[in-house]
Each structure stands twice: as structure tokens, then as C-alpha cells.
């Protein structure tokens, strides 16, 4: 319960590297939008001025940028000043890069800090002694540490040296009303026509930024072999943008499947596109708890996914889809070929996938957990302030 000194509403300042199109970024903005009718006020502070996702989502939230171009040893001072000016009650930082600075800035402003770990690319798995020491100091000074999945928490502990028991799990959640299956084949066919997608073949979808960690090239190679003799006509649809757009198009041509692969680029109509697909594939090298995967499952799609991050908690082979080892094109090819030879099994697995998300990964559940966390951290901070006064 909030004390007599507690203002209304609680002000949360969220910290991110930027607001480009990424899973953590989508998650933070959906959290803000989902809590809009509750007693919270939000601001977003980013290291870079990138805010294309904020503009695309048409979300009206106070946004500030540090405009950092490299390491800044005084960033925490600027953060502290901004937190005081905004009247921040809680600093909520996402991932590791900004965490030590955010903790120091929060201390300068007299407010608590929460760290949420979403995941990290394999190239960044190892930190030196100095970096680990900074993370341990930040952990001691943080009110709470959270992660989006048990596997993400274990990874966080292994790369930082911070006790796993300190990490609270708050799984990502998706809006299962917005991300839903098509009501009928007629709806799916009409959507495909409106999106200028093939109406008469199996559509295999992948929604992910075109970056190396997502291993689109491995998916292309496996797909090119899987669609050879004896399978239903199929088209692979990539949704997303990134530095590999050109190289991937050229690779599809060199594999002889350029006419069977569609590159849609960056899109905001993801929910409708998912309702066009028959199968979803995510071939990442690393993941935490992928929003793209949850959204596909909520949309009633069977999924083929690498066995990284939390995927093994979501998928049981033959029920919601199939797991394959990362960087194993032969296994991915075999699974894709089996499914394309037997497309009648896809709807049943898709129904199971949606049931899995409805049970444990609905948006409302995530919102309740974060709202409770904010309330608890705020109440504890207020009780300390009252004790210091009296």
C-alpha cells in the first residue's frame, strides 16, 4: 500500500540502447502501452537517437536521447540530472550495456533501479574481470534483477557471475486477441490476396531482423533443399530488414530459389501477415524468449525453431512444432521436408501452439507481474524515505 507521502502516479523511466525494430524494444513499448490505464507514468531514455519503432507504433510517450556515439564516462551524470528533472520514481533498464550507468544515475537522483535481461548475442558472451566487477556492483545497487525466461536468467548468471537466485523471472507476454489465427480459410485467402502473397501454396514465414545471429542463410539453404521433389509447392517469406537484405537475396538466386522466396522488408502489419502463413521458422543462433516466436504461436502457427533460449519450454516435438539444433542445416532441411510432405498436420500443431501461449504467455499476465514489481519497489523506497524523515 502506498504511504501518505506517495505521489500519483508512479513515474517509470525505461532505458534502452535505441528504439529501432527489435524484440526488447517492442517489449518495452508494449509494456508501456499495456499499462496506460494504470497508475503509472512513463518516459523512455535511449543511448542513440533512433526512434523508428516509436514512430511506427504511434505511441505517445516522453522520449529522450543521450545521443552517445561511444563509451561515455559521464553518461551517468546526465542520466541522474534527467531522472531528477522528470521526477522519476523508478529507473527500469533493459539489458546490460547501460546498466552500470543507469544504477549510478538512479543513485544520484535518489531512486531505485530495476534491470531486465532479455538476452545477448553469442559474440558478447564473455566479459572481462573489470566488466564483471561493474555488473556485480550494479547488482548490489539494484532494487531487483529480472529476466524474460529461466534460460535467459541462467545465461545472465553465467556471463556476469551474479547469483542466479537473485534473478526474478517475468516471461514475455503477447496480446492473444491481436495475434490470433484466421477465422477461416476464406479470411486467410483474402489476407494473402491483399498482401500480394501466393494464395495457392504453403507459406513458410520468418519474422526477424536480417542480421547474422538469426541465420537466415542457413534457413535459405535448408529450404532450397527441402522443396525439391515430392513436397507441396511452398514459398518462404522473410519479414524484416537489416544489413543482410542484399546478400540474402543474392544467396537465394545462387541457390536457384529466388522465385520461391519473398522479402517483405520491415512491416508493421505483422499480425495480419502471420495469419497468412502456414508454418513459422526461426533459425536463430541465440534467443531469450522470442516475441516473434510467441506471436507466431498465438496466431495458431506451428513452429520450427532452433533449440536455444526458452524454445524448449515452448515447443515439444510433434505437438507445437519441432526443435532443431542451431547451425544444423541438415536437421532443419529434414524437418521442413517432412512437414511440407505432410501439410495436413500443420493446423493441429498450430492449435496446440496457441493453447501453449494462452496458458502461460498472455500479455495480461506479464502486465500484472510488472505492475506488481513496480508497486513493491516503489513502496519499499517510500518506506525507507519515511524512516529517514522520522
pLDDT above 60 (res 208): yes
Nine cell digits for residue 1 = 500500500
The secondary structure of residue 17, as a DSSP letter, is S
CA 87 and chain centroid, separation? 28
pLDDT at 294: 96
Domain residue extents for the chain: 10-173+363-389, 185-360
pLDDT at 3: 43
Q: Residue 295 in contact with residue 274, Cβ under 8 Å?
A: yes
> Model confidence over 117-172: pLDDT tens digits?
988 765 556 788 988 999 999 999 999 999 999 989 999 999 999 999 999 999 99
Cell 491481436, residue located = 178
Nine cell digits for residue 2 = 502506498
> Model confidence over 34-47: pLDDT tens digits?
999 999 999 999 99
pLDDT at 2: 43
> Model confidence over 299-308: pLDDT tens digits?
999 999 999 9
Percent residues over pLDDT 70 in the chain: 95
Instruction: Please name which of 199, 17, 218 lies closest in space to residue 98, comparing C-alpha atoms.
Output: 17
Indicate the average pLDDT of the chain. Answer: 92
User: Residue 133: phi, psi to the nearest 5?
Assistant: -65, -40
Q: What is the CA radius of gyration of the chain?
A: 22
> Model confidence over 324-353: pLDDT tens digits?
999 999 999 999 999 999 999 999 999 999
Give the SS3 label for residue 97.
coil
pLDDT at 128: 84
Average pLDDT over residues 222-245: 91
Average pLDDT over residues 217-227: 96
Cell 531528477, residue located = 84
Q: Residue 111 in contact with residue 143, Cβ under 8 Å?
A: no
224: buried, middle or exposed (CB in 10 Å: 19+, 13-18, 0-12)? buried
Average pLDDT over residues 263-290: 94
User: Residue 375: phi, psi to the nearest 5?
Assistant: -60, -45
Question: Band of the pLDDT at 273, cuts 50, 70, 90?
Answer: very high
> How many C-beta atoms lie closer than 10 Å to residue 240's C-beta?
22
> How many C-beta atoms lie closer than 10 Å to residue 255's C-beta?
16
Q: Residue 156 in contact with residue 167, Cβ under 8 Å?
A: yes
Please provide the CATH number assigned to the domain covering 10-173+363-389: 3.40.50.2000
Which carries the bigger pLDDT value, residue 16 or residue 23? 16
What is the C-alpha separation between 140 and 143, in angstroms, rounded? Answer: 8
What is the C-alpha separation between 35 and 5, in angstroms, rounded? Answer: 23
Nine cell digits for residue 296 = 507466431
pLDDT above 70 (res 278): yes
pLDDT above 90 (res 254): yes
Q: Is the peptide bond between 9 and the residue preceding it cis, with omega within 30 degrees of 0?
A: yes
> Model confidence over 79-98: pLDDT tens digits?
999 999 999 999 999 989 89
Please provide the CATH number assigned to the domain covering 185-360: 3.40.50.2000
> Model confidence over 67-82: pLDDT tens digits?
887 666 789 999 999 9
What is the C-alpha separation between 360 and 148, in angstroms, rounded? Answer: 13
Q: Residue 111 in contact with residue 82, Cβ under 8 Å?
A: no
Task: Write the DSSP assignment of 298-321 as a string of letters.
Answer: HTT--EEEES-TTHHHH--BTTTE
Would the CATH topology of 10-173+363-389 be identical to that of 185-360? yes
Question: Checking phi first, is residue 318 left (phi over 0); if not, alpha (psi -120 to 50) or beta?
Answer: left
Q: Residue 173 in contact with residue 148, Cβ under 8 Å?
A: no
pLDDT at 121: 64
Give the number of residues written for the chain: 390
Amino acid at each position: 500500500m502506498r504511504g501518505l507521502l506517495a505521489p500519483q502516479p508512479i513515474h517509470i523511466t525505461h532505458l534502452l540502447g535505441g528504439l529501432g525494430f527489435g524484440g526488447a524494444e517492442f517489449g518495452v513499448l508494449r509494456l508501456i502501452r499495456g499499462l496506460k490505464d494504470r497508475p503509472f507514468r512513463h518516459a523512455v531514455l535511449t543511448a542513440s537517437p533512433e526512434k523508428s519503432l516509436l514512430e511506427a507504433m504511434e505511441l505517445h510517450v516522453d522520449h529522450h536521447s543521450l545521443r552517445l556515439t561511444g563509451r561515455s564516462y559521464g553518461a551517468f551524470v546526465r542520466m541522474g540530472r534527467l531522472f531528477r528533472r522528470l521526477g522519476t520514481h523508478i529507473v527500469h533498464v533493459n539489458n546490460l550495456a547501460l546498466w552500470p550507468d543507469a544504477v549510478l544515475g538512479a543513485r544520484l537522483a535518489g531512486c531505485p533501479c530495476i534491470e531486465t535481461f532479455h538476452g545477448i548475442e553469442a559474440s558478447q558472451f564473455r566479459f572481462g574481470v573489470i566488466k564483471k566487477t561493474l555488473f556485480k556492483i550494479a547488482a548490489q545497487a539494484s532494487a531487483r534483477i529480472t529476466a524474460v525466461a529461466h534460460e535467459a536468467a541462467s545465461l545472465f548468471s553465467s556471463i556476469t557471475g551474479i547469483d542466479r537466485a537473485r534473478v526474478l523471472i517475468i516471461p514475455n507476454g503477447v496480446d492473444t486477441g491481436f495475434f490470433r489465427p484466421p477465422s477461416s480459410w476464406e479470411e486467410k485467402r483474402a489476407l494473402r490476396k491483399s498482401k500480394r502473397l501466393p494464395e495457392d501454396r504453403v507459406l513458410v514465414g520468418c519474422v526477424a531482423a536480417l542480421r547474422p545471429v538469426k541465420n537466415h542463410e542457413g534457413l535459405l539453404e535448408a529450404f532450397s533443399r527441402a522443396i525439391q521433389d515430392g513436397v507441396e509447392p511452398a514459398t518462404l517469406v522473410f519479414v524484416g530488414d537489416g544489413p543482410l537484405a542484399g546478400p540474402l537475396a543474392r544467396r537465394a538466386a545462387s541457390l536457384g530459389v529466388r522465385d520461391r522466396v519473398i522479402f517483405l522488408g520491415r512491416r508493421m502489419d505483422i499480425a495480419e501477415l502471420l495469419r497468412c502463413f502456414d508454418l513459422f521458422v526461426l533459425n536463430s543462433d541465440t534467443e531469450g524468449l522470442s516475441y516473434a516466436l510467441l506471436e507466431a504461436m498465438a496466431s495458431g502457427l506451428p513452429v520450427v525453431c532452433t533449440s536455444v533460449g526458452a524454445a524448449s519450454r515452448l515447443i515439444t516435438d510433434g505437438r507445437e512444432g519441432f526443435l532443431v539444433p542451431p547451425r544444423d542445416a541438415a536437421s532443419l532441411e529434414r524437418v521442413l521436408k517432412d512437414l511440407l510432405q505432410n501439410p495436413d498436420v500443420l493446423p493441429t500443431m498450430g492449435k496446440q501452439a496457441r493453447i501453449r501461449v494462452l496458458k502461460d504467455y498472455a500479455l495480461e499476465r506479464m502486465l500484472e507481474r510488472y505492475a506488481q514489481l513496480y508497486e513493491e519497489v516503489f513502496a519499499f523506497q517510500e518506506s525507507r524515505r519515511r524512516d529517514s524523515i522520522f
